[in-house]
Amino acid sequence: MRRNPRDLQRYNASERLNHWVVGICFILLALSGLAFFHPSLYPLTQLFGGGPWTRILHPYIGVVMLLCFLIMVIRFAALNLIEPRDVEWLQNVGKMVDGDDHDMPEQGKYNGGQKVLFWGLVAGMLALTASGVAMWRTWFHLPVDLVRIASVVHAAAAVWMIGLIVMHVYAAIWTRGTIRAMLYGTVTRAWAKQHHRGWYRKMTGDNS
């Protein structure tokens, strides 16, 4: 893809790699987890070499995703702290949905919706990790009643995470020019000025 040298860098190569590793792990975990969620979905285990291999691989893929997700949290947590302007943005999100985003409050690198999504994913990951550890009988031997509760929590957290990721993907497709940021690392100045004016000002020094 041909890019304008005046484009702004939104993500470096390391950040993009980190994102895609987490994303791929999540897809693998969703497919392998759904395979055990309902008998009709059990054929999905064939993607991983059958039922036994699916059961073995699922938690280890989860560990990889957790470690990479922790790196993302370290990198981006400070940028996702909720500010008053984010609350105002969320209160006016209806305008954004209607496509009238020109009067939305000025946003930094991430808007209010992205920040809520980020912390929602953090909460979901904590629930998945805690419940997943309790269920991992190969390494941990907790009381059966606790494992049963963990199984319910794990399923609920998985549904929560899948829902948030679907929203994340939809928003990225709906806001034209967003996906290229995670593919190539850059966005146009026009895109930055329209969607993240505060970040645009910081990157360019343009106060117009």
pLDDT digits (tens, 9 = 90+) for 62-76: 999 999 999 999 999
Which residue did the predictor score with more confidence, 189 or 92? 189
d(CA 73, CA 207): 30
Compute the mean pLDDT over every residue in the chain, rounded to the nearest whole number.
91
Structural domains present in the chain: 10-76 (no CATH), 85-208 (1.20.950.20)
pLDDT in tens, 129-169: 999 999 998 888 899 999 999 999 999 999 999 999 999 99
Q: How many CA atoms lie within 13 A of 18 on its CB side?
A: 17
Q: Of 184, 135, 132, 127, which Cα lies nearest the Cα of 157? A: 127
Query: End-to-end CA distance of the chain, in Å?
Result: 29
pLDDT band for position 89 (50/70/90)?
confident
d(CA 33, CA 200): 40
What pLDDT, on the 0 to 100 scale, is given for residue 172? 87
The partner residues of 186 in beta bridges, in order of sequence, read 9
pLDDT band for position 6 (50/70/90)?
confident
User: Which secondary-structure segment (H or E) carries 8?
Assistant: strand 8-9
Tokens of 103: 């009067």
> What distance separates the 2 farthest-apart alpha carbons in the chain?
63
Tokens of 75: 């990198």
What pLDDT, on the 0 to 100 scale, is given for residue 100? 64
Section 117-124 average pLDDT: 97
C-alpha 145 chain-centroid distance: 31
Taking the CA atoms of 29, 23, 89 and 174 in sequence, report the sign of the dihedral they define: negative
Catalytic residues: 168
* Whole-prediction pTM: 0.90
Asked whether the predicted pLDDT for residue 170 surpasses 70, the reply is yes
Section 161-182 average pLDDT: 90
